[in-house]
Amino acid sequence: METKEFTIKWGMAIDLDKCTGCGACMVACQAENNLAPIADASNKIKVMNWITVYELSNGKPYPEHDVAYLPRPCQQCGHPPCVSVCPVIATDKNEEGGIVSQVTPRCIGCRYCMAACPYHARYFNWRDPVWPGGLEKALTPDVSVRPRGVVEKCTFCHHRWMAAKDKAIVEGRDPMDLAEGEYVTSCTEACPNGAITFGDLNNEDHEVAKLASSKYAHRLLERLGADTQVYYVSRREWVLRQLDNYLEDEKVKG
Partner 1 sequence: MAVDRRGFLKFVAGATTGVLATPVPWKLLDDVSIWTQNWPWIPRNVDGENSYVSTISKLCPSAAGMKVRLVGPRPVRVLPDDNHPLSMGGITALAAAEVQLMYSPSRVKRPLKHAGDGAFVAISWEEAEKMLKENLRRAGSKVAYVSGDETGTINELLSGMAKESGSEDFYVMPSEVQPAARAFASMNGNGQLGYDIENSDYVFAIGANILESWGTVLRNRAAYKNSHPAAEKPTVKFVYAGPVQNNTAAGSDEWLPAKSGTEAIVAMGIANLLIKAGATIDAPDFAEFKALAAQFTPQKVAALAGVTPAKLKAITAELSKAKRPVVLTGSEFGQGTGVATVLAGTAVNMLLGGFGREGGVTAIPLAPKVIASGMDRAEIADKDLVAYLSRISAGKVATPRAMVFYEANPVYGLPQPAAMAKVMDKVPFKVAFTSFLDETAEACDLILPTPLGLERFDDVESPYGINQAFYGLARPVAPCVIDGKPAADVLLGVAGQLNMDLGFETFEEVLQAKAEAAGADWDSLMEGEFFTSDAVAEQSDLRIAADVIGKALAAAPKPAKLSIAPVQKLNIGTPNTAIPPYNNKTIRRWELQKNEMYVAMNGATARELGVVKHQRIKLSNSSGSIQARVNIFEGVMPNTIAVLMGFGHTAFDEFSKGKGENVMELLTVGYEAGTGQSVWNVAGVNVSKA
Q: Single out the residue of 190, 226, 230, 240 in contact with partner 1 (rule: CB under 8 A).
A: 190
List the strands of the sheet with 196-200, edge to edge: 196-200, 10-15, 230-233, 217-218
Confirm or reject binding of residue 134 to partner 1 (CB under 8 A): yes
Residue number with CB closer to partner 1 (37 or 225): 37
Only one of the segments 78-86, 94-102, 209-217, 218-226 lies at the binding site for partner 1 (rule: CB under 8 A); that segment is 209-217
Phi–psi pair at 71, nearest 5 degrees? -75, 130
Furthest CA-CA distance within the chain: 59
Question: Chain-centre distance of CA 168, in angstroms?
Answer: 25
| Residue nearer to ligand SF4 on the CB measure, 71 or 78 | 71
Using rule CB under 6 A, residue 190 touches ligand SF4: yes
Specify the residue, 207 or 227, whose C-beta has the smaller distance to partner 1. Answer: 207
CA neighbor of 122 nearest in space, from 169, 64, 75:
75
Closer to partner 1 by Cβ: residue 168 or 233: 233
**Distance between CA 188 and CA 197 in Å, rounded?**
6
172 binds partner 1 (CB under 8 A): no
Tell me the per-residue interface mask from 4 to 23 with ligand SF4, x by CB under 6 A, - otherwise.
---------------xxxxx
Distance of alpha carbon 200 from alpha carbon 181, whole angstroms: 10
Q: Of ligand SF4, partner 1, none, which one sits near residue 138, judging by CB under 5 to 8 A according to partner kind?
A: partner 1
Q: What is the SS3 assignment for 62?
A: coil
Please list every residue from 86 through 115 that binds partner 1, using CB under 8 A. 88, 104-109
Binding residues with partner 1: total (CB under 8 A) = 83
Q: Please tell me the distance from the alpha carbon of residue 254 to that of residue 251, in angstroms, as a whole number.
A: 9
Nearest distance, CB of residue 13 and partner 1, angstroms: 7
* Distance, CA of 201 to CA of 136 (rounded, Å): 36
**Interface with ligand SF4 (CB under 6 A):** 19-25, 53, 69, 71, 190-191, 193, 195-196
